């Protein structure tokens, strides 16, 4: 009896790189703060995509997951797909890019993203803005990031 061992000749699979960080979610309805929550951000980086898992530390129904697909440079949030529209729109220690969905009524608005940081903020398209901040940068940004009521009145 002859036994033949088969082995794979493909490249070894790279392990997932995982980082865990704290975030503070500040939610605005137009220009009024409606909610502030503590979140745990888990960044899981694989070869082809990076997953950003935002876990609400009090209410798991408010968890959010985003996927950044590296080869297409697109972000997926549920059924929504965001395309890169403008690079380096917000500059500080990190540069954040602006992503947009296809322009359809009641669709989500802009999303600000940096691959190392994750989501800085997004507009849900219905007057609410979500901002994920760190203790270090929460004073650096003039919130809300997307629009203010006096800009809408003009």
- Cα 100–Cα 140–Cα 54 angle in degrees, nearest 5: 55
Going by pLDDT thresholds of 50, 70 and 90, the confidence category of residue 104 is confident
- Structural domain contains residue 9: no
Residue 80 bridge partners (DSSP): 77
Give the pLDDT confidence score for residue 5 in this predicted structure.
47
d(CA 26, CA 15): 33
How many percent of the chain have pLDDT more than 90? 68
**Structural domain range at position 62:** 17-153
- What total of structural domains would you count in the chain? 1
Q: Is residue 92 within 8 Å of 134, Cβ to Cβ?
A: no
Q: Does any domain span residue 1?
A: no
């Amino acid at each position: 009896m002859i036994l033949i061992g088969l082995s794979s000749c493909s490249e070894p699979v790279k392990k997932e790189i995982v980082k865990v960080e704290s975030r503070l979610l500040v939610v605005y309805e137009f220009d009024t703060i409606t909610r502030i929550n503590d979140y745990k951000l888990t960044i899981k980086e694989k070869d082809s995509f990076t997953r950003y898992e935002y876990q609400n530390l009090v209410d798991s129904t408010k968890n959010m997951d985003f996927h950044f697909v590296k080869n297409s440079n697109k972000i997926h949030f549920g059924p929504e797909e965001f395309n890169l529209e403008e690079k380096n729109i917000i500059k500080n220690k990190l540069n954040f890019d602006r992503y947009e969905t296809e322009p359809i009524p009641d669709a989500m608005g802009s999303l600000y993203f940096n691959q190392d940081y994750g989501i800085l903020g997004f507009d849900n398209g219905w007057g609410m803005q979500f901002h994920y901040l760190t203790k270090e940068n929460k004073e650096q940004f003039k919130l809300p990031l997307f629009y203010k009521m006096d800009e809408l009145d003009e």
